[in-house]
């Protein structure tokens, strides 16, 4: 698949490609340079929090305005519900 860069440095990704990767106006893309090639990928591919074993680990950049006290409270509630065997 080929695309052209216009004189302002923009390129248009074909609609089937945008649909396949759920790319919408305003989606941030990460640009990476590798041995003679340029790679674009959605910046939101990696969640900022992942569970590794029993622990929640932050990876990446947190969105502005995250209420960490609420995040921790929700994780604790989910854990308690799970431990008690209650339906969610």
Dihedral sign for Cα atoms in the order 23, 27, 31, 32: negative
Q: Quick one: pLDDT at residue 46?
A: 62
Helices (H), the chain: 15-20, 68-84
Dihedral sign for Cα atoms in the order 75, 79, 80, 82: positive
pLDDT mean by block of 10 residues, the chain; 88 residues? 92 90 86 90 71 83 77 88 81
The answer to whether 62 touches 49, Cβ cutoff 8 Å, is no
Beta-carbon neighbour count of residue 9 at 10 Å?
6
Q: Quick one: pLDDT at residue 82?
A: 87
Sorted by where each starts, the structural domains of the chain and their CATH numbers stand as 1-45 (2.10.260.10), 49-84 (no CATH)
């Amino acid at each position: 698949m080929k695309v052209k860069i216009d004189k302002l440095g923009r390129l248009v990704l074909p609609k089937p490609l945008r649909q396949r990767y759920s790319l919408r106006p305003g989606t941030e893309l990460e640009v990476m340079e590798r041995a003679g090639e340029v790679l674009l990928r959605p910046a939101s591919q990696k969640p900022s929090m992942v569970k590794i074993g029993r622990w929640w680990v932050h990876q990446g950049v947190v969105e502005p305005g995250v209420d960490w006290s609420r995040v921790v409270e929700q994780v604790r509630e989910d854990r308690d519900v799970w431990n008690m065997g209650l339906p969610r």
